[in-house]
Amino acid sequence: MVSKLHVAAISLRFGGIKALQQIDFHVQTGEIFSVIGPNGAGKTSLINSINGFYTPQQGSIRFEGLDITHMPPYKRAGLGISRTFQNIALYTNATVLDNLMAARHIHMRTSMLAGALFWGKAQREEIAHRQRVEEIIDFLELESIRKSIVGTLSYGLRKRIELGRALALEPSLLLLDEPMAGMNVEEKEDMARYILDIHERQGTTIMLIEHDIGLVMDISQRIAVINFGIKIGEGTPAEISQNPAVIDAYLGEQER
């Protein structure tokens, strides 16, 4: 069976800095696969390589068997790869609804002229996209703020909107870069619930980068651990929790 994602021995350098060194793993279709590691381990560099912001100097990245190593980000999005950002990247002067609608552009098929006239096929397409966005707003419990300007909203709500925008692309692979960073306990519990619902109801394959090790252990099928750009462990939560290299590099920090 072809993996959803195969990262094959990729290495990424910025001048003399080795951000990633021979990173290799598979993400199977329909699983939640998490990547953990200390700050500066290379986790965001890894996710940036997968969605096309960075191009590794060595190795390859395959999505559903297709080599996407040198493919631009917009084409990867068209294939079904979507992501959230560690540092929120929303349109802060636009409404929640407009932010989610902006992510639907990749599915729009009518011409610019037809869209400007807003008639016939263009009107029907707009209605269909709006309906899909409204479903996401309902799913993420954003109804009461759907017309609010994003810049006026709390950090936790912006994180939820960021997830909604990623979902609006209708991904088959969802890359989540620390979706719970900076959240309080209640907000983290809500976000975990949404992630599990996306996985269970929609069957979306999820690759998660997260610092909350307890949550990662609870919701992941498999976990990879990187440290200083090198993968030092991979396996089930039970296997990772007993891995001496992982305990020394990362899990042990929880105990000291």
On whether residue 86 sits in a domain, the answer given is no
Shared domain for 219 and 98, answered yes or no, is: no
Handedness of CA 199, 44, 5, 135 (dihedral sign): positive
Q: Which residue would you say has higher pLDDT here, 245 or 107? A: 245
Shared domain for 69 and 178, answered yes or no, is: yes
Domain final residue pick, 126, 144, 170:
170
On whether residue 4 sits in a domain, the answer given is yes
What's the number of domains the chain is made of? 2
Shared domain for 148 and 204, answered yes or no, is: no
Shared domain for 133 and 143, answered yes or no, is: yes
On whether residue 108 sits in a domain, the answer given is yes
Shared domain for 119 and 179, answered yes or no, is: no
Q: What is the pLDDT of residue 127?
A: 75
On whether residue 243 sits in a domain, the answer given is yes
Q: What is the pLDDT of residue 248?
A: 83
Shared domain for 109 and 28, answered yes or no, is: no
On whether residue 119 sits in a domain, the answer given is yes
Q: What are the pLDDT digits (tens) for 138-182?
A: 999 999 999 999 999 999 999 999 999 999 999 999 999 999 988
Going by pLDDT thresholds of 50, 70 and 90, the confidence category of residue 107 is low
CA dihedral 81, 82, 84, 86 (to 10 degrees): 30
Q: Which residue would you say has higher pLDDT here, 119 or 120? A: 120
Angle formed at CA 8 by CA 25 and CA 83, multiple of 5 degrees = 65
Report the CATH number at residue 63. 3.40.50.300
Sheet of strand 66-67, all strands in order from the earlier edge strand to the far edge: 17-27, 5-14, 58-63, 66-67
On whether residue 7 sits in a domain, the answer given is yes
On whether residue 85 sits in a domain, the answer given is no
In the predicted model, what is the mean pLDDT of the chain?
A: 88
> How far apart are alpha carbons 169 and 174 in whole angstroms?
10
Q: What are the pLDDT digits (tens) for 186-243?
A: 999 999 999 999 999 889 999 999 888 888 999 999 999 999 999 999 999 999 999 9
On whether residue 42 sits in a domain, the answer given is yes
Residue 20 DSSP SS3: strand
Q: Distance from CA of residue 25 to its chain's centroid?
A: 17
Shared domain for 72 and 175, answered yes or no, is: yes
Domain final residue pick, 110, 141, 170:
170
Shared domain for 71 and 176, answered yes or no, is: yes
Shared domain for 157 and 189, answered yes or no, is: no
Domain final residue pick, 170, 193, 225:
170
Predicted TM-score (pTM) of the model is 0.87
> How far apart are alpha carbons 165 and 255 in whole angstroms?
37
Which residues form the domain of 179? 1-80+171-256
- 105 DSSP 8-state letter: G
Shared domain for 239 and 121, answered yes or no, is: no
Shared domain for 35 and 95, answered yes or no, is: no
Is 120's pLDDT higher than 70?
A: no
Shared domain for 164 and 234, answered yes or no, is: no
